[in-house]
Amino acid sequence: MDHLSNSTANLFSSVTVDRAPEYRLSNEELSVLADSTNARFLPVLGSQVLVSSSTTGYAVAALTRSIFDAEFHPAGPMIYLGRFNGGHHFAIDIEPASSAHTAGHLFGDLRQFAPLLPDADCALLGYTRAMVHWQRTHRHCGRCGTLNEARNGGHVMRCTAKDCFRQQFPRTDPAIIVLVENGTRALFGRQAQWPKARYSTIAGFVEPGESAEQAVVREVSEETGVEVVTITYHSSQPWPFPGTLMLGYHAKAGDTGIRLNDHELDEAKWLSRAEIEAQMRDGTFVPPTPTSISFRLIETWFDQNAATPLRVLRKTYSELET
């Protein structure tokens, strides 16, 4: 199978990681890999990941076994992530009392570090964070409440009750995100808790018994009262906060009347490209961070008929990342 390049994949898409599922089948083989000189460990402290800092910038902090054992106390079993940059990488939840003493290492929020990290490192850390969160929140059987045990390199949590043995697998929640347009304008909304002047596209989770396309129609109607008449798939993005797959779409609206039906949004409005540029200039419209698929959806639409690309405008009018 051909792999997507980093230039076509959205951020956090781990196209550079060989997940090597064949190694998950043997605990003995995984133990040998974990003790080898090619083993690298990625600790997660709460929701924070470990990065290294140097004069050249930030990078994933992939630790050798000896350094990891000297600095951290595991709070859960190892999760085999696969091969990356020639090494076998393991994610592991650590105790809150743990701390990195090695010079140049620091824990931080992946949202904040994402724009500063190489794309491949960002993807590896997103995978790491999502897997640790899933394992941490599935330590007990959802059927009988008995303690689970990690299997298959941490990719299966199996109930230890002899009359149950229920297996749980890594969970990803599907959600849609859509740029709705009508003529020369596009639809934007903002939630009250967002940073000042931040606007984005419409998004929401896919509900049981619903296709992604149906979710697009429903979410746009519920949040803005606008009727969607055509839908075109754009791309997807794994969003490890904590574990969502964002399914991105462009859509066309059959009407422009706005009604905030479910009160999810504090405001929604239609804007042309010229209005967006004018409002970016005066600080009343701030687009989503470029690390998100919502920015890419807006960018694709905006750049089709704009004198200046959206990324250039964003850099010109605001260097602030939130």
- 239 and 119, same structural domain? no
As a dihedral over the C-alpha atoms of residue 278, residue 282, residue 287, residue 288, rounded to 10 degrees, the angle is 170
Does some domain include residue 247?
A: yes
Does some domain include residue 166?
A: no
- 110 and 177, same structural domain? no
- 98 and 203, same structural domain? no
- 283 and 178, same structural domain? yes
Does some domain include residue 61?
A: yes
- 231 and 108, same structural domain? no
Look up the pTM and report it.
0.92
Cα Rg for the chain, rounded, in angstroms?
22
Question: The domain that contains 78 carries what CATH number?
Answer: 3.90.79
Does some domain include residue 240?
A: yes
What does the alpha-carbon distance between residue 205 and residue 218 come to, in Å, rounded to a whole number? 10
Is the CB of residue 133 less than 8 Å from the CB of residue 83? Answer: no
Is pLDDT of 100 > 60? no
Is pLDDT of 4 > 50? no
Q: For 319, what's the count of Cα atoms within 13 Å in the CB-facing half-sphere?
A: 1
Does some domain include residue 159?
A: no
Q: For 290, what's the count of Cα atoms within 13 Å in the CB-facing half-sphere?
A: 15
> 319: burial class by Cβ within 10 Å (0-12, 13-18, 19+)?
exposed
What does the alpha-carbon distance between residue 36 and residue 24 come to, in Å, rounded to a whole number? 16
Domain residues for the domain of 216 are 173-317
Question: The domain that contains 211 carries what CATH number?
Answer: 3.90.79.10
Label residue 102 by pLDDT band (50, 70, 90).
low
- 294 and 225, same structural domain? yes
Does some domain include residue 116?
A: yes
Q: What is the pLDDT of residues 40-60, one digit of tens each?
A: 999 999 999 999 998 889 999
Is pLDDT of 274 > 70? yes
- 123 and 47, same structural domain? yes
Q: What is the pLDDT of residues 143-187, one digit of tens each?
A: 999 999 999 999 999 999 999 999 999 999 999 999 999 999 999
- Domain C-terminal end among 121, 137, 153: 137
Residues near 58 by beta carbon (within 8 Å), at least 6 away in sequence: 51, 52, 113, 116, 117
Count of the separate structural domains present in the chain: 2
Structure tokens given for 143: 């059927």
- 109 and 44, same structural domain? yes
- 304 and 204, same structural domain? yes
pLDDT of residue 181: 98
Of 6-20, 108-122, 290-304, the one with minimum mean pLDDT is 6-20
Q: How much of the chain, in percent, has pLDDT values that exceed 70?
A: 94
Q: In a 3-state reduction of DSSP, which class is residue 303?
A: helix
> 136: burial class by Cβ within 10 Å (0-12, 13-18, 19+)?
middle
Average pLDDT of the chain, as a whole number: 93
- Read off the pLDDT of each residue in 62-91 and give the average, rounded to a whole number: 95
Query: Which residue do the tokens 């090695």 mark?
Result: 102
- 177 and 100, same structural domain? no
- Domain C-terminal end among 137, 161, 190: 137
Q: What is the pLDDT of residues 232-260, one digit of tens each?
A: 999 999 999 999 999 999 999 999 999 99
